[in-house]
A and B are shown apart, each in its own frame.
Chain A
């Protein structure tokens, strides 16, 4: 992850992030939810609910907001990916946004230690 330092220069710590060259089956997602979000976007696109180009336009928009902001918050790619998916689902009227927020609250309020 990259943070923007006050001088405006991006810090680059590429060495530590270089994966072994031929690694296959490497860890692609930092957390399982990132894989779920990626998979949901792919399945919905493959089923024709939207095109991948439409998804990409939303992703570029979400990332662009961070890129142009003066924020010194850390960059987390999948946060933007999730926001893009949610915006597109809303645009395509697949889910009612209020319903989603209700569900988010319900899940957030689950007893501590909840596990599947």
Chain B
């Protein structure tokens, strides 16, 4: 690499000083990046969704108090201290946004995709959710209500998608493999 962007130089300067002053080590930073790039991600949320589909008691607990319900999974990553799971039904489609920044349930979905953090999604999904969903390839029927959930400093949302038809024979692991990140944000259905 021959050219360094101003941000890259600034980030490097910041890290070098923080290391010199003993606030952190480069290895700490490496490890944190590894957690968020490899150990947390949508596969965690998919396991939760699949379990909710096959275990009615778990589904009830998940919808009542998601933070407690997912504790046994011992997911890393955080940002689920106040987790709310919203259930898609034949009458209601849910979609999640953070209008102010990028709040997102890391432990279940990893770090958010670029479009989730973009000003266009943050502002437009609230103003014209159906139109934005169409741009994602999802046309919600007129009779179906669309609910937009704005993540705040405290609450994180996860959409519980409807279980696809024709999956009665699949076990929990096979079901989890069907669950996409986009479906758990609510910009897609399965």
Contacts and interface: CB of A to CB of B under 8 A. Distances in A.
B181 interface: yes
B33 A38 contact: yes
A7 interface: no
Interface string A50-85: 001100110110011011000000010111001001
Contacts, number: 172
Q: Is the interface of B mostly helix, strand, loop or mixed?
A: helix
B91 interface: no
Given A14-B135, A32-B8, A103-B13, 20 more contacts: A4-B119, A10-B119, A19-B113, A22-B42, A24-B38, A24-B43, A28-B110, A36-B11, A39-B30, A40-B29, A43-B28, A67-B119, A77-B102, A77-B114, A77-B118, A99-B17, A103-B16, A104-B13, A107-B13, A108-B9
Interface of B: 1-2, 4-18, 21, 23-24, 28-33, 36-38, 41-43, 46, 78-79, 100-103, 110-111, 113-115, 117-121, 123-124, 132, 135-137, 153, 177, 180-183, 188
